[in-house]
Amino acid sequence: MDQHVIELEKLTKVYGDYTAVDQLSLMIRRGEIFGLLGPNGAGKSTTILMMMGLTEPTSGTVRVCGYDSTRNPLSVKQRVGYLPDDVGFYEELSGLENLLYTARLNKMSREMAVERATALLRRVGLEEASGKKAGTYSRGMRQRLGLADVLIKQPEVIILDEPTLGIDPEGVREFLQLIQELSRDEQITVLLSSHHLHQVQQICDRVGLFVGGRLLAVGTVSQLSQQLFAEEPFLIELHVQPGSTALYKKLLELPEVSRIERVDANRWRLSCTANIAPALTQLIVSSGEQLHSLTEKQYGLDEIYHRYFAGRDSDVRKMA
Ligand code: ADP
Ligand code: MG
């Protein structure tokens, strides 16, 4: 079997004269957790709809589990669990009854359905709420029920559209951990879309940065950093006292320091072309200032995102 579970080739969707997805090519490997990251309107949901065969591409191809989603949507739906961004349940039915209903649609025997639904409800932490009406569930509980619902047919792939939207931070952490465990334990390939950087960074093996219908970069977070911050790969955060202007100027004059961002009066973030931590320590101490801390940070998605989204549209286009 092909190691690539999701294959997009020059996938394009045009609405009228607006291109929502522009020549998107992307391969996702079996067992991978992939984050499609981009702001609202980037084209994430449109891409997912094309993967599920729910909307037709204008051009290009999309294959999921080896099947062309446009020509063979049923084969794709049999193998893929899809959690839309506005998941709907039968509000009058309990969590358990909702899962049993899905199981019946998937032609599962009653016995097997009860067994699997019960196990899944336990797995997603809804054991105690399983008898309560879905209509009474909180947003976080609905998302967990949604996850159980997409898992009931034992899919090879799950596709989750903004699954953490509207969940409180603690709930988000637990929910993402759950996705990660499920992916690991059951060898499920996961594609999730999000406009929350930190969340995606937590659990994804790779991410794709998607803006204005175009994919700007793909890779692990550190690969993205290397691609996007090739010229100044080292980020060093200093906590200095008193943090004089004289010191600030001295630091800025160092050839390896390209920029300094003031987090606050005493906390400065230096973008450097080399790791000059030892030299910085010496310089600060010999200037008579106190160095409370020096932290070497890696560029994370947040820096990437800010850099790429803050008024750099022309650069963004060039990179794509
Ligand atoms: P995301 O999920 O990343 O927020 P979407 O895929 O929902 O982005 O939308 C991408 C762009 O395509 C948006 O500008 C949206 O307004 C537009 N769009 C989405 N669906 C339709 C549609 N059915 N008709 C016209 N325009 C659409
Ligand atoms: Mg969307």
- Collapse the DSSP code of 147 into the 3-class scheme (helix H, G, I; strand E, B; otherwise coil) and give the result: helix
Q: How far is CA 167 from CA 158, 162, 174, 175, in A?
A: 19, 11, 10, 9
The tens place of each residue's pLDDT in the chain, 320 residues long, gives 458 999 999 999 999 999 999 999 999 999 999 999 888 889 999 999 999 999 999 999 999 999 999 999 999 999 999 999 888 999 999 999 999 999 999 999 999 999 999 999 999 999 999 999 999 999 999 999 999 999 999 999 999 999 998 888 888 988 999 999 989 988 899 999 998 877 777 899 999 988 889 998 899 877 877 777 777 778 899 999 999 999 999 999 999 999 999 989 999 999 999 889 999 999 999 999 999 999 988 777 677 767 665 543 433 333 33
Angle, helices 245-253/277-286, rounded to nearest 10 degrees? 150
Report the atom number in ligand 1 closest to the C-alpha of 39: 3
Ligand of minimum distance to the alpha carbon of 161: 2
By most ligand atoms within 8 Å of CB, the mutation choice from 15, 21, 52, 211 for ligand 1 is 15
Neighbours of 158 (CB within 10 A): 23
Is the distance from the beta carbon of residue 84 to the nearest atom of ligand 1 less than 6 Å?
A: no
Is the distance from the beta carbon of residue 195 to the nearest atom of ligand 1 less than 6 Å?
A: no
- Name the β-bridge partners of 218: 208
Closest CA to 268 of 298, 303, 237: 237
Architecture category of domain 4-87+141-220 in CATH: 3-Layer(aba) Sandwich (3.40)
- Collapse the DSSP code of 92 into the 3-class scheme (helix H, G, I; strand E, B; otherwise coil) and give the result: coil
Q: What local confidence, expressed as pLDDT, does residue 3 receive?
A: 80
Angle, helices 95-105/139-151, rounded to nearest 10 degrees? 30
Q: How far apart are CA 177 and CA 179, in angstroms?
A: 5
Degrees, nearest 5: CA angle 298-188-75: 130
What is 230-298's CATH number, 3.40.50.880, 3.30.70.100, 3.30.300.30, 3.10.20.740? 3.30.70.100
Q: What local confidence, expressed as pLDDT, does residue 86 receive?
A: 84
User: Would you say the C-alpha torsion 91, 158, 106, 153 has a positive or negative sign?
Assistant: negative
Torsion, CA 223, CA 224, CA 230, CA 231, rounded to 10? -140
Closest CA to 308 of 27, 17, 44, 38: 38
304 neighbors 210 (Cβ within 8 angstroms)? no
Please indicate whether the domains covering 4-87+141-220 and 230-298 agree at the CATH topology level: no
Q: Domain-by-domain residue ranges, the chain?
A: 4-87+141-220, 230-298
